């Protein structure tokens, strides 16, 4: 773990400084894009006929094994394995790019509601045509909380435990879940394994993210209240970072929203919080992302000292 901790600290710093340079990814496919293409190919060619759940299990198993082998091979490259490990880990972290996307919603919303709708559509999947400014703001804040868990804390956690194979496997499973882990008639069976494995891999990181946020907010509310509100979320994991963010900002999150033209009556997370969020609250959530990054970085340093 000591070697992984040193590499993780370097990767976190590299990601925080450079983020996702457009000059690089306009010329070469991002590793997450490559993972998405692999998942997409499997879905297109194998999600058919009978035994779709078994096919989905086999696909996820094969992809995970392949990802782990790639990670081991790259980490063991003579002389440059450590450099590849740090660089790829930095690429698979998403701190700076996440903050930039969240702040972009606040900037756009200050211009107009339509600008806010177009910008928030880049980071959330819900219908946005009828969103008012508070709904746009809540969507951006929810995305900030959930993606800090999925894009920063969880990759860092699995890299710390498993090195390059750990973070590559996690990102592959998370990508697969985002593409095929839906309960639609077409994907419910084929994407079952990806969705369930993603739930397992995010169980600890999601709750760790909630703790990171609470430390970043410099408050420690009743843990039972946090657990209660987290359980209101439709996801077994996403509710934890969202509930912690809602508590810290005193903003009600989740609640009713529309998907594919259908209004879904989801419960509010931290219902007692204010519902008239705006650009200021979006900016506050972005500030918390950086404070959370500092907390996480400090935690890795502590792990390094103790090992």
User: pTM for this one?
Assistant: 0.95
pLDDT for res 73: 96
Q: Give the range of the structural domain holding residue 236, as residue numbers without chain letter.
A: 2-306
- Contact 271/261 with Cβ under 8 angstroms? no
Arithmetic mean of pLDDT over the chain: 93
pLDDT for res 156: 98
pLDDT for res 255: 84
pLDDT for res 222: 67
Report the distance separating Cα 101 and Cα 107, nearest Å.
10
Report the distance separating Cα 98 and Cα 59, nearest Å.
29
pLDDT for res 21: 82
pLDDT, tens digit (0-9, with 9 covering 90-100), for 93-127: 999 999 999 999 999 999 999 999 999 999 988 87
- Number of structural domains (the chain) is 1
pLDDT for res 225: 82
Q: What is the DSSP string of 198-243?
A: HHHHHHHHHHHHHHHHHHHTT----HHHHHHHHTTSSSTTTHHHHH
pLDDT for res 221: 62
Count Cβ atoms within 10 A of the Cβ of residue 126 and give its class: 0-12 exposed, 13-18 middle, 19 or more buried. middle
- pLDDT by residue, tens only, the chain of 307 residues: 788 999 999 999 999 999 988 777 778 899 999 999 999 999 999 999 889 999 999 999 999 999 999 999 999 998 899 999 999 999 999 999 999 999 999 999 999 999 999 999 999 888 788 899 999 999 999 999 999 999 999 999 999 999 999 999 999 999 999 999 988 889 999 999 999 999 999 999 999 999 999 999 987 766 788 889 999 888 899 999 999 999 999 999 988 887 777 778 888 998 889 988 999 999 999 999 999 999 999 999 999 998 8
């Amino acid at each position: 773990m000591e070697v992984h901790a040193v590499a993780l600290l370097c990767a976190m710093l590299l990601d925080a400084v450079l983020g996702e340079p457009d000059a690089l990814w306009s010329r070469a496919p991002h590793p997450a894009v490559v993972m998405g293409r692999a998942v997409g190919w499997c879905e297109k060619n194998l999600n058919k006929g009978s035994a779709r759940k078994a096919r989905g299990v086999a696909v996820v198993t094969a992809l995970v094994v392949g990802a782990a082998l790639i990670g081991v091979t790259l980490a063991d490259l003579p002389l440059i394995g450590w450099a590849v490990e740090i660089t790829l880990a930095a690429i698979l972290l998403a701190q700076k790019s996440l903050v930039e996307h969240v702040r972009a919603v606040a900037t756009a919303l200050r211009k107009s509601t339509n600008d806010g709708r177009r910008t928030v559509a880049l980071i959330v999947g819900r219908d946005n045509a009828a969103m008012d400014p508070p709904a746009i703001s809540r969507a951006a804040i929810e995305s900030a909380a959930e993606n800090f868990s999925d894009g920063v804390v969880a990759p860092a956690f699995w890299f710390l435990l498993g090195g390059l194979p750990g973070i590559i496997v996690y990102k592959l499973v998370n990508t697969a879940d985002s593409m095929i882990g839906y309960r639609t008639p077409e994907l419910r069976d084929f994407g079952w394994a990806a969705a369930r494995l993603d739930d397992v891999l995010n169980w600890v990181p999601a709750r760790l993210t909630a703790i990171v946020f609470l430390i970043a907010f410099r408050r420690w509310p009743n843990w039972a209240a946090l657990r209660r509100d987290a359980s209101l979320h439709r996801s077994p994991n996403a509710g934890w970072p969202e509930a912690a963010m809602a508590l810290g900002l005193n903003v009600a999150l989740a609640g009713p929203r529309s998907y594919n033209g259908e209004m879904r009556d989801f419960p509010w997370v931290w219902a007692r919080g204010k519902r008239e969020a705006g650009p200021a609250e979006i900016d506050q959530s972005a500030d918390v992302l950086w404070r959370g990054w500092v907390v996480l970085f400090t935690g890795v340093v502590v792990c390094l000292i103790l090992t």
